[in-house]
Amino acid sequence: MSQPINPLRKYIREGKLPHFFCPGCGCGQILNAFLQACDELSVDPSRMVIIGGVGCTARIPVYLKGDVLHGVHGRTLAWATGIKLHKPQTKVVIFAGDGDVASIGGNHLIHAARRNLDVLVVVANNFNYAMTGGQVAPMTPSQVRTMTTPFGNPEPSFDICELVVTAGATYVAREATGRPVQLERTLKKALTHEGFALVEVLSQCPTNYGRYALRSGDPAVTLKWIMDRCITKAQADKLSKEEKAGKFVLGEFVDFKRPIFCGSSVYDLESCECCE
Amino acid sequence: MATSTTERAQRVLTGTHFMLGNYAVVEGALAAGCDFFAGYPITPANEISERMSQRLPAVGGKFLQGEDELCSIYALSGASLAGAKAMTATASAGYNYMQEGIGYAVAVEAPIVIVDVQRCRGENFASQADVMQMKWGPSGDHELIVLAPSSVQELFDFTIRAFNLAEEFRNPVIIMSETTIALMRERLVIPPAEEIEIVNRRYTSLPPDKYLPFKANEEYGVPDFAPLGEGYGAIYSLNPHSEEGSIDWNPDVFEQLYKRITGKVTQHRDKICKTQAFKMDDADVALIAYGSEVRPCMDAMEMARADGIKVGVLKLDTVWPVPEEQIIQVANHVKLAITVEMNIGKYTREVERLCCAKCRTAVATKNRGLVHFPEEVYAVIKEVWR
């Protein structure tokens, strides 16, 4: 009896499965939604440059056919800047965790958004540093217990969508692994966007966030904890700032066009006098 | 100087110039085929970025001022893996920040060129205090090729050589500049373009399904190259990786990988390590120096010879990997080898281990933001040579 083969399997690198994600991790769902989106758009991920930094999410690219850069913490957008400037026609997609892109890579993030670099950044927000064992991250909610905040997180958390909107990103949306249909639809839109696109995906980490913050390793508990706090943008628009506290707003925040960054190639020979 | 519109659109400014050292680096890079530059403002390297921002777009390249040095160094790897000849320029403090990116470029064998204009703890005084960091900055096992120019002409010549070595060995190459020569104006002769030797990396002739990004070409010992975004499906990971690029935890794979990555440099010392010997044939005393410190050594040599002490100079054009054979050869012929350097005495350890039991060794150090005066070098010679 032959087993049915997942039609998305054709995008997965030979001999790389099973993957190394924990049972119940959201990274697999994000990979699935991304490939589904590519498949429906008929864009071939094996023609892309797919970048991961360091962390669980950063391992998503290594399962994909296509050119992959991996293994340095927080520098995904710096790599992408060099690639896009030298070879602007290359499609570049970044998979990054919240620690990778919002903490150690925070400076690159805001400047890539400001420049409107033509890349898609998929941020898996699992609210902690998962690969290193569940330490507090910039997107860990306040008061939550982690391995390095045993008395509760004393810091407020980042809203990465708000951050990049302010910095100048041209497509920004937030979704959750608990809404696979909407997630795939959002990724489809982001994949076709020209300019800096960022999709934050709220993703469950039962192994570290679940066990320490929520005292349960059951993936359903973390998933439910996330989904209970999710509201749509339409719902959020009707609420006051106080009422929105502690909620995750899902939906599209910006979607517009402005010139994309190509480096300084436009110049006027006659007017340039700086190095006389 | 490039002043006319037509000259600015040329890659090679053939002719005789009176040029700033930092500008000579730019002209060398353009002559070598540089088409990507990323840098972050830092004195005394700014003139390199400034001139690049003007010259590079005019010849069809891309210039980027990164948000920090980390952006610059990783943009270099990204551009290089996409096929660019890429360079950055920085000064000591900025070189600190770039270490992790240099380590990455070593691991994925990205050819990149880094100019480090050494300075003194935040001030722009002369220094060679980073000579060890040049090589040993990044974590992990690695070999780096470091060239030490001593003049504006050499800043031009060595920059071309740096690109050629980077391309040939798919390894980062560092130009160890110094405040002294970077901010000095001197005569510079740029030869006609057709007389400049250019080396380009070897591209693979294999189809994507047969291509292994980290399998060395058997003839050259270096993997053939396939640019990003062409469907070759290469993984460029810092992590231990197999010939196909996949992350691999097999200890044998790891050992083999770094044996090859470091071996491609150490096994080609004859091609990489260059020195120049001055009056060494009859010398009893050798002054061993690199960078701007070679200049006072040349004068000190003449002063000593006028007084009857047979002094020669061994100028190290390549400081890393250490030109071991050339130093040993000198040690076999002289009675005393004095390393002259502008720091607390660092490279002398390399010289000492090679001269050990062959000749006496001494060191002339100066660590006060100034190049040695010839008289100071001569005073050391007189003190040690009895």
Domain ranges of chain B: 5-195, 274-384
Sheet holding B285-289, edge to edge: B275-278, B311-316, B285-289, B336-341, B360-365
- Determine whether the interchain pair A266/B238 forms a contact, defined as Cβ–Cβ distance below 8 Å: no
pLDDT for A133-163, tens place per residue?
A: 999 999 999 999 999 999 999 999 999 999 9
Amino acid at the residue B128: Q
Distance, in Å, from the CA atom of B106 to the CA atom of B83, rounded to the nearest integer, reads 16
> Per mean pLDDT, which range of A8-12, A14-18, A203-207 is the poorest?
A14-18
Domain A16-255 fold: Rossmann fold (3.40.50)
- Determine whether the interchain pair B228/A67 forms a contact, defined as Cβ–Cβ distance below 8 Å: yes
Q: How far is A6 from chain B (nearest CA, A)?
A: 21
- Its CATH class, for the domain covering B274-384, is alpha beta
* Half-sphere exposure for A17 (CA within 13 Å, toward CB): 12
pLDDT of residue A236: 96
pLDDT of residue B8: 63
Domain ranges of chain A: 16-255
- Determine whether the interchain pair A79/B73 forms a contact, defined as Cβ–Cβ distance below 8 Å: no
Residues of B in contact with A47 (CB under 8 A): 229, 231
- Determine whether the interchain pair B64/A69 forms a contact, defined as Cβ–Cβ distance below 8 Å: no
Nearest to A66 among B79, B101, B233 (CB): B233
- Determine whether the interchain pair A48/B229 forms a contact, defined as Cβ–Cβ distance below 8 Å: yes
Q: Which overall architecture, per CATH, does domain B5-195 show?
A: 3-Layer(aba) Sandwich (3.40)
ipTM of the complex: 0.93
Residues of B in contact with A69 (CB under 8 A): 77-78, 81, 108, 236-237
Q: Give yes or no on whether B5-195 and B274-384 have one common fold.
A: yes
- Determine whether the interchain pair A275/B107 forms a contact, defined as Cβ–Cβ distance below 8 Å: no
pLDDT of residue A3: 84
Task: Name the percent of chain B lying above pLDDT 70.
Answer: 98
B237 touches B259 (CB < 8 A): no
Residues of B in contact with A276 (CB under 8 A): 1, 3
pLDDT for B132-147, tens place per residue?
A: 999 999 999 999 999 9
pLDDT of residue B6: 61
pLDDT of residue B40: 97
Residues of A in contact with B76 (CB under 8 A): 82
- Determine whether the interchain pair A275/B235 forms a contact, defined as Cβ–Cβ distance below 8 Å: no
Distance, in Å, from the CA atom of A39 to the CA atom of B231, rounded to the nearest integer, reads 17
Residues of A in contact with B102 (CB under 8 A): none
Find the distance separating the first CA and the last CA of chain B, reported in whole Å: 49
In total, chain B counts a number of residues equal to: 386
Residues of B in contact with A265 (CB under 8 A): 57, 60, 62
Q: How far is A157 from chain B (nearest CA, A)?
A: 24
pLDDT for B196-219, tens place per residue?
A: 999 999 999 999 999 999 999 998
Helix (H, G, I), strand (E, B) or coil at B166: helix
